[in-house]
């Protein structure tokens, strides 16, 4: 059986803790980094910060880090460990919170119930 990501209660604490890492089946496993790159020219920072807050609240024990990355030229991209999850330019629209939560969940915690974000 492949190692699974675990919650914050099982993370390594104290002197040996490495930020964003957890013990899984006797090995240190890195929790993913989520990046939201936003256009500073377009003033998308508030939207990016709100999306970051939503994701941090939903995936508090699954994400190791959420970073806001200033960009240009209308960018609003969401990446998980470097993999593009959503691009505003490609989709020609902004993502819905529910949509991003489902995309992130499917990659890092497929069995996680998102409550109302899973309905409808």
In a domain, 120, yes or no: no
In a domain, 65, yes or no: yes
Express each pLDDT in 9-32 by its tens digit.
333 333 333 345 554 455 556 899
Question: Residue 119: CB partners within 8 Å, gap ≥ 6?
Answer: none
pLDDT for the residue numbered 45: 97
Q: 38 is in which domain, residue-wise?
A: 32-110
Q: How far apart are CA 19 and CA 13, in angstroms?
A: 9
17 and 75 assigned to the same domain = no
Question: 10 Å Cβ neighbour count for 15?
Answer: 5
Residue with tokens 């505003």: 88
Number of structural domains the chain divides into: 2
Q: How far apart are CA 58 and CA 112, in angstroms?
A: 10
4 and 44 assigned to the same domain = no
68 and 58 assigned to the same domain = yes
Average pLDDT, integer, range 94-100: 96
pLDDT for the residue numbered 72: 97
Express each pLDDT in 53-75 by its tens digit.
999 999 999 999 999 999 999 99
56 and 84 assigned to the same domain = yes
62 and 84 assigned to the same domain = yes
pLDDT for the residue numbered 120: 56
Stated pTM of the model: 0.75
23 and 80 assigned to the same domain = no
In a domain, 115, yes or no: no
pLDDT for the residue numbered 27: 52
């Amino acid at each position: 059986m492949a190692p699974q990501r675990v919650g914050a209660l099982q993370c390594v604490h104290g002197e040996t803790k490495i930020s964003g890492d957890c013990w899984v089946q006797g090995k240190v496993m890195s929790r993913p980094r989520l990046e939201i790159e936003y256009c500073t020219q377009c003033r998308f920072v508030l939207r990016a910060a709100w999306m970051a807050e939503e994701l941090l609240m939903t995936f508090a024990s699954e994400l190791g880090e959420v970073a806001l990355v200033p960009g240009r030229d209308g960018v609003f991209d969401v990446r998980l460990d470097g993999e593009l999850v959503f691009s505003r330019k490609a989709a020609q629209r902004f993502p819905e919170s529910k949509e991003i939560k489902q995309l992130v969940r499917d990659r890092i915690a497929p069995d996680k119930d998102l409550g109302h974000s899973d309905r409808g």
